[in-house]
A and B are shown apart, each in its own frame.
Chain A
Amino acid sequence: MEISIRRLSKSYYSEGKTIVALASVDLNIPSDRIFTLLGPSGCGKTTLLRCIVGLEMPDAGEIAIGDKVVFSAEKGIYVPPEKRELGMVFQTYAIWPHMNVFDNVAYPLQTRNEPKEEIRRKVERTLHFVQLDGFENRPATKLSGGQQQRVALARALVAEPKVILFDEPLSNLDAKLREETRKELRSFLRELKITAVYVTHDRIEALSLSDTVAVMKSGRIVEVGTPWEIYFDSDRRFVADFIGRANFVEGKVAKGGEPHTMIDSVIGAIACEKKIGASLGKAVTVCIRPEFIRVLKGDQADGCNIFRGRVESLVFVGDAFEGEIRVNEIPLIFRIEPTTTVREGEEIALHLDPHHCSILLS
């Protein structure tokens, strides 16, 4: 089911100050896809989610889930959360400690007064889906973090909602479990025909789980796109910086057109992937991801996008070396395979693939 949000605003008053959590947000969340709201803490992503589910009352705007308007400030419509028929997984999981697994999962069906047999059948099926067969009578508090997370997911899914919402569901798990659960969650969601809205501040979660990512900042949606578009083709420095490690080099457009746009920068002329809107003379930023800086040993290299510099530091991090090269006094971070023979202090040449030098207009 599609969710459409129109001019949604919300402010808080705290200690005499007004904090804008949502500043006239417009957003369409497509049907049956995994949609992620990504942003630093305090950007309003959780508030937006809680407005969709009905736990927060926006100040202005409209929310429609499918054809049904669930909130409209103008028309005075507010459908309480229990009437919206959504599923939600909370950051704390919110597993009720006084109930066993069965009762936790059966709860949404019990509120709908479904027949007992039907409830048993559906709960069993859902627990099977999240791979918790046989856990029915386990007290909910006697489960591991990952299992609690799956109970929360089962509870959100059991009533077969058209939309499921996730509020940073993996942030309470330790790193290793988080990775496993992320993969699991991904395969569960792919299997279902369901609209999923996922809130996170973790870029890897956002990139690996979603069909579409919306990056938020200070109560606004900054950019919406596929994970690929967000990572490689963002228009904004904030997004490019937030989504991954990057070098930012300031410059001016020197020559537009085919095959590359040339940028005059402090480290020299850089041939970049062409960009619409990069008009001649415009001040721009070039974004270069550290994994796309190729280090060439010695002086043999020559040609386009070759720069010379000195390796200032080189740190072994296991699967790679990470280091810093100074080119014309500008430090560039780079990443290189662990078998490299490059050493700290060495003068080297580096090559930038023009396809991976993207121009940020703002």
Chain B
Amino acid sequence: MPKTRTALTPGLIIIVGFLTVCPVFMLILGSFSEGLSSFGSFTLSKYVKGYIDPAFADILANTLIFTVGSAIVASVLALFLAYLNTRTNIPFKFLFRIISLIPMMVPHILFAVSWVLLLNPSNGMINLFLRQLFGLEGAALSIYSLKGMILVEGLLDLPIAYLVIAPAMSAFDVSLEESSKVCGASNLRTLFRVTLPVLRPAILAAITLVIVRSLASFAVPSVIGMPGRIYVLATHIYRIVATGYATDYGLAAAVGMSALAASITLILLYRHLTRQGEKYVTVSSRGYRPTVIDLKGAKYPLFGIVALLSFILIVLPVLVLFYTSVVPYSMVPSEKAFAMMSWKHWIAVFKDPISLLSLKNSLYLGVGGATLGIILSFFVAYVIVKVRTAASGFLESLSFLSFSFPGIVVGIGFMWFFVQTPLYGTIWALLIGYIATYLPYGIRPLTSAFVQIHSNLEESSRVCGGGSLYTMRRIVIPLLIPGIVSGWILMATMFVRELSLSVVLSRPGTEVLAVQILRFAEDGLWGRLSALGIIMIFISTTLVIIASQIGVKLTKVDK
């Protein structure tokens, strides 16, 4: 055992180190190079060109407004929901769990598209409806604005902020509040003077995390921002490599460096904040239930807001997409629309070879990539939790690093690498890139699964006469299965809907679903887009259901 362990840690450090450091290293080298073909020839010209560009100041300002705005929208909503869920008697609390899970169900690009379908100025459904109602000329509302981007991104990142804030909220020691009330403060005063200040590290952590996510976000800036000519860093980089006459990967790398640096700084800040948050957590071991505030008359109106949010987040996008996929062109739901419904967009998608190829590729990447990713995550989590040496601590930091990488920037870094190898333009390039970028999502559930296996559980099996293999088979693996399954589901669904890395690495022959949807959006083929989008949601959901069923089976059959 000790021998394999000593070989395992350095081996994993090499693999994970390659996956996380390689794109960064290649990005740095690339940013100082003339072009993909003349790699290694040192030049500063890309930095000069990238940062002297007069448009760059606008892009930075947009990025700042977009990311901070989204973070504020997401965190305020998350705080509101977390407070209602953990501290009040609001009905139907199961809805909150669903809200925190939706990022698995509706891919970001489809969510963004559904808002475009509703609110785009030329034929958005709500705009058409308002036009009919009031006989307006032109568009009443336009999603193609910074405000629109912030709104949609904020809604998309709401679950992330919620997942950071809700645990802190429920771990909160209520006696702090009670003593404030005993001192004569009202509920509202207590909220602002005691509750929120104590939760400050969690709130700041949520804001930081959402800023990182929205900085990396590509779906909203590309689907909503680009038609409105509002560019942020991610779309600016995309524009450099994907559009125009001469793509310039050196310039993209130079610009990407600033996004990467900002991300890494923010993620370090986030880790610092979460550590600080732990200091504040005052959980009592007695399993004490916090007192619940009675909302009285406000109960149902507040619940109405929650229900509306759930509707907007989950039901509306699917509804809009499905409706769009069966009507010939954008129109307000009416008798006429229902009469014209047909499957023609669906048939077109099933006859489109590129759509079918992208379907196949995404499925392959989702299933194969998640399986490989989870195997790697299993060993990394094992070393982090059970081996516990200085090297395993290093491995942990290393594997956490890629959490901060914006997909499009990693994509540029990997591009510089893959061009030098035969992997360029193959599906393997995407596979490696996916695993590198999303490794933390596999490691996270597995480390917590490993942590839960108290060493006594293994030791008692040994004392009972079970050898180490027997113990592994009957105790360790069965106990890990929930972690393995949730890690696999997380990775598989993320791979199926992956966009920001794929737009850079995908080449003819290696199209994937999200990229194909982006192409449809750029071409304005909303009907086909919606049909393919529904298929994408269907695939993700099916993968989730199958994986959880397998998980249930595996944990039960154990005799």
Contacts and interface: CB of A to CB of B under 8 A. Distances in A.
B465 A97 contact: no
A94 B479 contact: no
B460 interface: yes
A108 B462 CA distance: 9
B462 A80 contact: yes
A81 B462 contact: yes
Nearest to A111: B465
B459 A81 contact: yes
A87 B479 CA distance: 23
Interface string B438-460: 00000000000000001011011
Interface string A44-55: 000000000111
B237 to A, nearest CB: 45
B555 A107 contact: no
A90 B456 contact: yes
A108 B454 CA distance: 19
Nearest to B475: A96
B467 interface: yes
Interface string A172-194: 00000000000000000000000
Which of B460, B465, B467 has the most C-beta atoms of chain A within 10 angstroms of its own C-beta?
B460
Contact of B463 (A53, A92, A97, A98): A53
A10 interface: no
B470 interface: yes
Contacts, number: 64
Nearest to B457: A94
Contacts of B457: 94, 96
Interface in A93-118: 94, 96-99, 103, 107-108, 111-112
A45 B443 CA distance: 36
Interface residues of A, number: 28
B464 interface: yes
Nearest to B460: A94
Contacts of B479: 96-98
B35 interface: no
Contacts of A96: 457, 461, 475, 479
B460 A90 contact: yes
A2 B559 CA distance: 36
Contact of B470 (A54, A94, A111, A152): A111
B53 interface: no
Interface of B: 454, 456-457, 459-467, 470, 474-475, 478-479, 555, 558-559
22 contacts: A81-B463, A82-B463, A82-B466, A83-B465, A85-B465, A86-B463, A87-B463, A88-B463, A91-B456, A92-B456, A94-B457, A96-B475, A96-B479, A98-B478, A103-B558, A103-B559, A107-B461, A108-B465, A111-B466, A111-B470, A152-B460, A159-B465
Given A81-B463, A82-B464, 10 more contacts: A53-B463, A82-B462, A82-B467, A94-B454, A94-B457, A94-B459, A107-B461, A107-B474, A112-B465, A152-B460
